[in-house]
A and B are shown apart, each in its own frame.
Chain A
Amino acid sequence: MSAADARVSDVAYSTYDGPRAGRIAAVWSLARWSSLRALGARRGWKAKLIPITLILLGFAPALVVLGLRALFGPSALGSGGLQAALPYSDYMGAIGVVILVFSVVVTPELVCPDRRDRTLSLYFSTAISRGDYVVGKVLAALMPILLVTLAPPLILYAGNMLFAIHPLAYVERHWVDIFRIIGSGLLIGFFYALVGLAISSLTSRRAFAVGGYLAFLAIPTIVGGVLAHALNENYLRLLAFAAVPIQAARGLYPGYTDRGHLSASLWAATAVEIMVVAIIVLAVRYGRDTG
Chain B
Amino acid sequence: MSRNGGGEPLVEIEGVSKRYGNIVALDGVTATVRERAVGLLGANGAGKSTLMRVMLGLIRADSGSAKVLGIDASKPAWEVRRLLGYMPEHSCLPLGMTARDLVVHMGELRGLPRRVAVLRASEVLFQVGLEEERSRLIRTFSVGMKQRTNLAQAIVHSPGLVILDEPTNGLDPAGREEMLALVRRLSTELGIAVVMSSHVLEDVARTCDSVIVLREGKVAATRAIDHTSAAVRGDVRVRIVGDPDGFARAAQELGLTVHRDGGGEDGWLVVQGSDADGVLTGVRDAACTAGVGLRELRPAGPTLEESLIGAIG
Contact = CB atoms under 8 A, between A and B. Distances in A.
Query: Contact size class for A?
Result: 35 or more
Nearest to A125: B86
Interface in B73-119: 77-79, 81-84, 86, 88, 90-98, 101, 105-106, 108-114, 116
Contact of B88 (A43, A113, A122, A289): A122
Contacts of B113: 18-19, 21
A80 interface: no
Contacts of B126: 11
A30 B109 contact: yes
Interface residues of B, number: 45
B58 interface: yes
B190 to A, nearest CB: 5
A45 interface: no
A126 B92 CA distance: 14
Q: Majority SS of interface residues in chain A?
A: loop
Interface in A116-136: 117-129, 132
A29 B93 contact: no
Interface in B149-173: 153, 155, 157-158
A12 interface: yes
Interface string A222-241: 00000000000000000000
Contacts of A72: none
A114 interface: yes
B123 A128 contact: no
Given A13-B124, A122-B153, A20 B94 contact: no
Contacts of A26: 78, 82, 108-111
Contact of A119 (B92, B120, B124): B92
Contact of B101 (A30, A42, A121): A42
Given A13-B124, A117-B92, A127 B82 contact: yes
Nearest to A129: B78
B109 A128 contact: yes
Residue from the set A17, A120, A126 with the largest chain B CB neighbour count within 10 Å:
A126
A283 interface: no
A127 B123 contact: no
A15 interface: yes
Interface string A6-40: 00000111111111111101100110010001000
Contacts of A33: 101, 105, 108
A15 B157 CA distance: 8
Contacts of B112: 16, 20-21
B131 interface: yes
B59 interface: yes
B267 interface: no
B127 interface: yes
Contacts of A129: 77-78
Contact of A29 (B78, B108, B155): B108
Contact of A118 (B92, B97, B106, B158): B92
Contacts of A12: 123
A30 B81 CA distance: 16
B191 interface: yes
B94 A126 contact: no
24 contacts: A11-B122, A12-B123, A16-B120, A20-B83, A20-B110, A20-B112, A21-B108, A21-B111, A21-B113, A22-B78, A29-B105, A37-B96, A37-B97, A42-B97, A113-B94, A114-B94, A117-B94, A119-B92, A124-B58, A125-B86, A126-B82, A128-B109, A132-B78, A289-B59
In the A-B complex, the 8 residue pairs with the smallest Cβ-Cβ separation, listed nearest first, are A20-B111, A16-B158, A125-B86, A126-B109, A29-B108, A127-B82, A11-B126, A127-B78
Given A13-B155, A33-B105, A121-B88, 11 more contacts: A14-B120, A14-B123, A14-B158, A21-B113, A26-B109, A42-B101, A118-B92, A123-B109, A125-B86, A127-B81, A127-B110
